[in-house]
Structure 1
Amino acid sequence: MAGEPTNPKSDHEVTRGRDGNSLPEREPSTSDDIAAFVAKAKAMSPFTPSSKGRLVFALDATMSRQPTWDMACALQADMFREAASLGSLDIRLIYYRGLDECRASNWISDSATLAKLMGKIDCRGGNTQIGKVLSEARREAVASGVRAVVFVGDAMEENVDDLCVKAGELGLLKVPVFMFQEGRDAAVEQAFREIARLTGGAWSRFDPGAAAQLRELLRAAAAYAAGGREALLRLSRNDVGAANLLGQMK
């Protein structure tokens, strides 16, 4: 299948679709690397109305997430429907689970393909790998442009300062990250809020099993990815979730 991910090769890689190569974690940056990165970030536009929207859709697929994974499978078509009213949207699915398994699909342009791919994935026990998600989103943003990143999860077991460095890089690229937290863990909330703040994105909580809450959040993120801030503003007039996200964004 064109979008189906394959197994990773090491602790420091995200495996992409079959037409891509494994992604190693970045080496320590030199001053020249940092200068070049900042120059590239300043030159990039966060939204071009004539271009197709691209959204990285990242999910925690560890064992505790199975009920919400199934719910997200059912709701992801709403993202495409919302985007269709504004233009078009490509989605790249990233998920992690198990022992250092982190996978990324190719770009997907229709809900049926995404649903088929997600339907083949089961959740497995393991630690969080949010850092890999942020690194992959940064790589894709530099390589081909990304309008927004959505992350759905309930835990954070990594060094928060390391995650904030990666989030700051996405912020320089003007790629907002929407951090959607399942549950009410205070430490997770603090980390997710900071990642969202550093990227110019937004954080929101939804209750376990609350399909209506998650649907609103996913639709709002898709609206931003497909139509920019103006699209999110229009949706926020009748959508509580969109209004909440818009109120946090820079």
Structure 2
Amino acid sequence: MSDVPSKSRFGSKTSPLEGTSDERLPQAEPSGGDAIAAFVAQVRAMAPATQGARGRLVFALDATLSRQPTWDMACALQAEMFREAAALGSLDIRLVYYRGFSECRATGWISDSSELARLMGKIDCRGGKTQIGKILGEARRNATAEGIRAVVFVGDAMEESVDELCARAGELGLLKVPLFMFQEGNDPVAEQAFREMARLSGGAWCRFDPGAAAQLRDLLRAAAAYAAGGREALRRLAAAESGAALLLGQMT
């Protein structure tokens, strides 16, 4: 795959999330009593997602070096999310990924599978530690500013403070944005963290085998069904696909 320079070739469709002096995400402030009350009031004021409205999904991927095979597989399977959503309405996807030394980036909202595949094809995986906290921070910003229905995360490791990640997952739960944590492999540290993050957000955790395209495809289709049509759409899909049934079972 071709390299992506620090000033992304995606132009206006991508932006650095953190780590640069000119464009940083707002930093979370300590939560005092007033801040918590304001946050709860904001959550209550948010209108619930409605059937038929345009769904929005954050598609987050670990792009560290060990993830190259799964990245390639996700490139081939991401169209399944759009296909599933097309039967229910429509879906916009924002790709967020981290890799290398403190690099974490996001695309704009994408409504075409070929465009998402083109952008993913420009990205190569690079060695580095996990940056899941940055992804959750970006998801929270999207939830409050633009409205999203779900976050999908695909990864195999967790090298951060689990308590901090769980706190951010809980904030997404208050915003009614479930985390679908899809774990590749059997890392017990990652499993414990991913399971708890999913629970706190009202989402679901599932493991898939390394290189198992069919398993990942079913999980992505299920997440897209939820983002486009809500719990009822996921329930209908669960009658036919095991991946959707796994997610629905945890969410209920």
User: How many aligned positions are there?
Assistant: 243
Decide which of 206, 209, 212 is 2:211's aligned counterpart. Answer: 209
Contact 2:152 2:179 in 1 (8 A): yes
Per-residue deviation, residues 76-102 of structure 1 (Å, max 9, x unmatched): 000000000000000011000000000
2:155 maps to 1:153: yes
Contact 1:52 1:226 in 2 (8 A): yes
User: How has the CA–CA distance of structure 1 residues 9 and 35 changed in structure 2, closer, same or farther, with 3 Å as cutoff?
Assistant: closer
What is the rounded CA distance, in whole Å, between the counterparts of 1:75 and 1:3 in structure 2? 25
Aligned CA RMSD, in angstroms, stands at: 1.6
User: How has the CA–CA distance of structure 1 residues 3 and 117 changed in structure 2, closer, same or farther, with 3 Å as cutoff?
Assistant: farther
Decide which of 216, 231, 242 is 1:229's aligned counterpart. Answer: 231
SS in structure 2 opposite 1:214?
A: helix
The correspondence of residues 26-37 of structure 1 with structure 2, limited to 5 A, is 26-37=28-39
Per-residue deviation, residues 121-154 of structure 1 (Å, max 9, x unmatched): 0000000000111111011100011100000000
Correspondence for 1:5: 14
SS in structure 2 opposite 1:108?
A: coil
Decide which of 102, 115, 120 is 1:118's aligned counterpart. Answer: 120
Contact 1:25 1:132 in 2 (8 A): no
What letter corresponds to residue 218 of structure 2 in structure 1?
E
Unaligned runs of 5+ in 2: 1-9
Question: What fraction of aligned residue pairs are identical, expressed as a percent?
Answer: 72
Decide which of 136, 139, 143 is 1:134's aligned counterpart. Answer: 136
SS in structure 2 opposite 1:54?
A: strand
The correspondence of residues 1-250 of structure 1 with structure 2, limited to 5 A, is 1=10, 4-7=13-16, 10=19, 22-250=24-252
Correspondence for 1:18: none
User: How has the CA–CA distance of structure 1 residues 48 and 192 changed in structure 2, closer, same or farther, with 3 Å as cutoff?
Assistant: same
SS in structure 1 opposite 2:218?
A: helix
What letter corresponds to residue 114 of structure 1 in structure 2?
L
1:26 CA drift (Å): 1.4
1:197 CA drift (Å): 0.1
Correspondence for 2:3: none
What is the rounded CA distance, in whole Å, between the counterparts of 1:147 and 1:121 in structure 2? 26
Unaligned runs of 5+ in 1: 16-20
What letter corresponds to residue 10 of structure 1 in structure 2?
G
